[in-house]
Amino acid sequence: MTILITGGAGFIGSALAKKLVAMGYEIIIVDNFNSYYNPKLKKDRLKYLLNNYKYKLYSIDIRDYEGLKRIFTENDIDIIVHLAAQAGVRYSLTHPFAYHETNIGGTLNMLELAKDFKVPRFIYASSSSVYGGNTKTPFSEKDPVDNPLSLYAATKKATELLAVTYRNLYGMKVIGLRYFTVYGPWGRPDMAMFLFTDAIVKGEPINVHNQGKMTRNFSYIDDIVDGTVKAIERDFDQEIINLAANRVVELEYYIELIEKNLGKKAIKNYLPMQKGEVQETLADLEKAKKFLDYEPQWSVEDGVKSFIAWYKWYYKIG
Ligand SMILES: NC(=O)c1ccc[n+]([C@@H]2O[C@H](COP(=O)([O-])OP(=O)(O)OC[C@H]3O[C@@H](n4cnc5c(N)ncnc54)[C@H](O)[C@@H]3O)[C@@H](O)[C@H]2O)c1
């Protein structure tokens, strides 16, 4: 089986690629190594995680239809796992067009090519942010998601709609995975875990939004990869499934764990809620359990410990 992973040099993509290649799948990675955050981290993920494995790499932008077409011409692809996206809620306030071009235009390119080259299955990343202004918790796949709080969320919802359209028109099997705040080794430098750790190490203040009154389903990378692999290994027609940790954590407790593992206190700069952010994310995991036998294994205590150990190793701290 050959699996094409877009965004394969990204945080989730590289961890997934490593797992799949170790399981014996043929892997093709597509990534444009853009500089939204340091591309060296993307290159290093491939260098360290996929070091001993054989895989194909195309440094191509998913906005480039002709470039992508070459990949489909040169390979027989069984499954697409479409993870490439302009991620980040805050950045979407200042760079709206990047979201439109990659998350909508790039996704459309992928779906068109999947249709033309008869790739039967299309699995893609959506996000908990589609729940937007939803005040009912836990967030269930059955809840209406037509009240986005950021352009990022709107483009993720659009991705879901595009995928369902291709299923309805062309019978393609489409599965959307709504990931909830993923963290762990090789994580994204624009996310809370990384930003807090960086600032604490440098003795700089950390920005704690909404006076710290936020809760998150902080989800460890291995659990998210496990759920994604299960989605690859089962065959559904059309589903959207939440993937998250099974416990919510207060932001303040998350910071406490980082402090404990670094052996250093944070200087906290309490700020009001940021535009586009939500106060609480809590996933209903019943569907993931039922459809995927998904059972997250990682506690936040072990997850943060593992991230900090990686951070110290990668950045040669101490
Ligand atoms: N990390 C999370 O907490 C989280 C939560 C919800 C959803 N998601 C979604 O999961 C997916 C993966 O997220 P991630 O955290 O690994 O992010 P990431 O930014 O680390 O990975 C995305 C990868 O896609 C690549 N990419 C971006 N635009 C591209 C383009 N135009 N052409 C080719 N490659 C491009 C980037 O270079 C990057 O390597 C994304 O779709 C994201 O929206 C992530």
Task: Name every protein residue with a CB atom under 6 angstroms from any ligand 1 atom.
Answer: 7, 9-13, 31-34, 42, 61-63, 83-87, 102, 106, 125, 127, 179, 181-182, 188
Structure tokens at 89: 């809620």
- CA nearest ligand 1 atom 13, residue: 12
Give bridge partners of residue 182 from the DSSP assignment: 219
Residue type for position 270: Y
Mutation choice for ligand 1 from 42, 43, 58, 83, CB with most ligand atoms inside 8 A: 83
Position 267 pLDDT exceeds 80: yes
Mutation choice for ligand 1 from 29, 30, 32, CB with most ligand atoms inside 8 A: 32
Contacts of 318 (CB under 8 A, 6+ apart): 312
Q: Summarize the confidence of residues 77-92 as an average pLDDT.
A: 96
Contacts of 54 (CB under 8 A, 6+ apart): 21
The active-site residue, picked from 25, 37, 91, 152, is 152
Q: What confidence category does residue 191 fall into, taking pLDDT thresholds of 50, 70 and 90?
A: very high
List domains and CATH numbers for the chain: 2-182+218-246+276-297 (3.40.50.720)
Looking at the CA of residue 14, tell me the nearest atom of ligand 1. Answer: 16
Chain mean pLDDT for the chain: 96
- CA nearest ligand 1 atom 20, residue: 10
- Other beta carbons within 10 Å of 261: 19
Ligand 1 centroid–CA 276 distance in Å is 18
Structure tokens at 142: 């059955």
Position 285 pLDDT exceeds 90: yes
Contact 242, 286 (CB under 8 A): no
Clarify whether 152 is annotated catalytic.
Answer: yes
- Pairing state of beta strands 249-250 and 215-216? antiparallel
Q: Cα-flanking dihedrals φ and ψ of residue 239, to 5°?
A: -145, 155
Give bridge partners of residue 28 from the DSSP assignment: 4, 56
- CA nearest ligand 1 atom 9, residue: 125
Ligand 1 centroid–CA 225 distance in Å is 14
Ligand 1 centroid–CA 12 distance in Å is 7
Position 277 pLDDT exceeds 80: no
Mutation choice for ligand 1 from 80, 108, 130, 182, CB with most ligand atoms inside 8 A: 182
- Other beta carbons within 10 Å of 231: 24
Please name which of 19, 6, 10, 84 lies closest in space to residue 43, comparing C-alpha atoms. Answer: 10
**Where do the H-state alpha helices sit in 171-314?**
192-202, 221-233, 251-262, 286-292, 300-314
Residue type for position 252: E
In this prediction, residue 135 carries a pLDDT of: 84
In this prediction, residue 307 carries a pLDDT of: 98
pLDDT in tens, 106-120: 999 999 999 999 999
Ligand 1 centroid–CA 41 distance in Å is 13
- Tell me the CB-side half-sphere exposure of residue 84, using CA atoms within 13 A: 34
Position 318 pLDDT exceeds 90: no
Using CA atoms, how far apart are residues 149 and 139, in angstroms rounded to an integer?
15
Percent of the chain with pLDDT over 90: 90
pLDDT in tens, 20-78: 999 999 999 999 999 999 999 999 999 999 998 999 999 999 999 999 999 999 999 99
Position 19 pLDDT exceeds 90: yes
pLDDT in tens, 209-246: 888 888 989 999 999 999 999 999 999 999 999 999 99
- Global model pTM greater than 0.95: yes
C-alpha dihedral sign at 275, 156, 124, 75: negative
Position 276 pLDDT exceeds 80: no
Contacts of 199 (CB under 8 A, 6+ apart): 205, 206, 266, 267
